[in-house]
Structure 1
Amino acid sequence: MRPQKIDDTQLIEGLMSVLQSKGFEGASLNDFAQATGLQKASLYHRFPGGKNEMAIMILQFVNTWIKDHIYLVLTEKGATTATKLQRVVQHIKQLYQNGEKSCILNALSLDSGLVILGDEISKAMRLWMEAFTALGVELGYTTTQAETKARQSLTFVQGGLVLAKGLGDPIYFHKALSDLKSLFVRE
């Protein structure tokens, strides 16, 4: 029997959905197989390092996504602040399906015992904060003020996702995104 084919986007979406809903420790190879439509043997072939290798690939995808959809957008020259923020907020909404999906960084932050996951999670969060710090500095805030706002932006989005999931209402996520935009409005 010929192995089933799946494109990388479908594979990443399937793997990420399992990790978002079950976390690293709770996810099984059966869960990954079901979410991707692949046989366990195909997953073993593609990821000889198992669940660890899958999680690392997902976090590398997240880092690339943050670079492309947040960092490069917020550091773009020539675009207005309002335009940059609107684009970033739209990207964040799409990634988290309007607050319906859990944050992959949060899901993988639970202790898995893998140092490399912590390193990749930290890298993603630092890149997020660098992007928002650059925006704050561009707006005339001091570096310290911009760094504070950047940390708050991450806290707003992460907290909004946790509340939306925990209380079953995406309004908390939408409020967090509104608060995020307000952070970078000069008075």
Structure 2
Amino acid sequence: MPAPTLSRDEVVQRILAEFRRSGYQGATLSSLSEATGLGKSSLYHYFPNGKADMGEAALQAVGVWIGENVLPALSESGSPEKRLKKFSAGLSEFYAKGSRPCLTDLFTIGEAGELYQQYLKQRLGNLIKALAAVVTETGISAEEATRRAEDAMITLHGALVVSRALGSTAPFTRTMRNFPAVLLGQ
């Protein structure tokens, strides 16, 4: 019986899982082939420029997921605190409550940093702007709201790294629980 055919989306999700496991630098064509169950030539069929295309596809898949499952919370009706709590819950789900690594970190080291820095800068910048917009609704100045949103992203990504280093999701869980209060200055 021939192996089942995977959709490109399924292949991208498996590639993303391998990048999470090994980092962009640590993932090899062999490990990506093993993770997807596809031969190297099949990977090149999906991704003609090899690992660089795979990384781009993985980051785009993350962007789509966040755009569909996390960001909408910020533009819903309700208080800023309620929307920020829902946003935090979405990020917690994305990072499996802190057990998944910080993708921003994984895609800024070595060759990946050169390849994806502009993309990550744009995505993170958009996220900071969206958070700051919610914070300004409470009467906080745009400058202060942006600073708080940047600090929140620093804390979030730091909590992911610390959680992995300690082998405990507690730092991430605490950070996400406090995320709305930190942004709103409560």
Q: Same fold (TM over 0.5)?
A: yes
Aligned to 2:108: 109
Contact 1:4–1:38 (CA under 8 A) maintained in structure 2: no
Match of 2:69 in 1: 69
- Contact 2:102–2:157 (CA<8 Å) still a contact in 1? yes
Match of 2:128, as an amino acid? M
Q: Which residue does the alignment assign to 2:17? A: 17
Residue 90 of structure 2 corresponds to 91
The residue type equivalent to 1:169 in the other structure is S
CA distance in 1, matches of 2:157, 2:112: 22
Cα pair distance change 1:113/1:55, threshold 3 Å: closer
For 1:100-127, what per-residue CA distance to the aligned partner results, in whole angstroms no more than 9, with x for missing partners? 1101111011021664411111112111
Q: Which amino acid aligns with 2:153?
A: L
Residue number in structure 2 paired with 1:171: 170
| Letter paired with 1:75 | S
Tell me the equivalent position of 1:138.
137
Is the Cα–Cα contact under 8 Å of residues 29 and 40 in structure 1 kept in the other structure?
yes
**Alpha-carbon distance, 1:45 to partner:** 0.8
Q: Provide the C-alpha distance between the structure 2 equivalents of 1:113 and 1:94, rounded to a whole number of angstroms.
A: 25
Residues in 2 aligned to 1:65 and 1:173: alpha-carbon distance in whole angstroms: 20
Structure 1 gap ranges (5+): none
Displacement of 1:91 after TM fit?
Answer: 1.2
Structure 2 letter corresponding to 1:64: V
What is the Cα deviation at residue 37 of structure 1? 2.4
- Counterpart Cα distance in 2 of 1:119 and 1:108: 11
Residue deviations 1:130-153 (CA, integer Å, cap 9, x gap) = 111111111211001100111011
How many pairs were matched up?
A: 186
Residue pair 1:66, 1:127 contacting (<8 A) in 2 also: no
Q: For residues 64-122 of structure 1, what are the alpha-carbon distances to aligned partners after superposition, in whole Å with 9 as ceiling and x for unaligned?
A: 3333334332133x222233122212211111111111011110110216644111111
Contact 1:67 1:127 (8 Å CA) reproduced: no
Distance in 1, matches of 2:7 and 2:80, equals 35
TM-score (norm 2): 0.89
CA–CA distance in structure 2, aligned partners of residues 89 and 51 of structure 1:
31
Three-state SS of the structure 1 residue aligned to 2:107 is: helix
The SS at the match of 2:71 is helix
Kindly indicate whether the alpha-carbon contact (under 8 Å) linking 2:20 and 2:101 is maintained by their aligned counterparts in 1.
Answer: yes
Return the letter of the residue paired with 1:24.
Answer: Y
Q: Say if 1:73 and 1:88, in contact at 8 Å, map to a contact too.
A: yes
Which stretch has the larger CA shift, 50-59 or 17-26?
A: 17-26
Distance in 2 between residues matched to 1:167 and 1:7, nearest whole Å: 36
In structure 1, C-alpha distance between the alignment counterparts of 2:111 and 2:31, rounded to whole Å? 17
Paired letter, 1:40: K
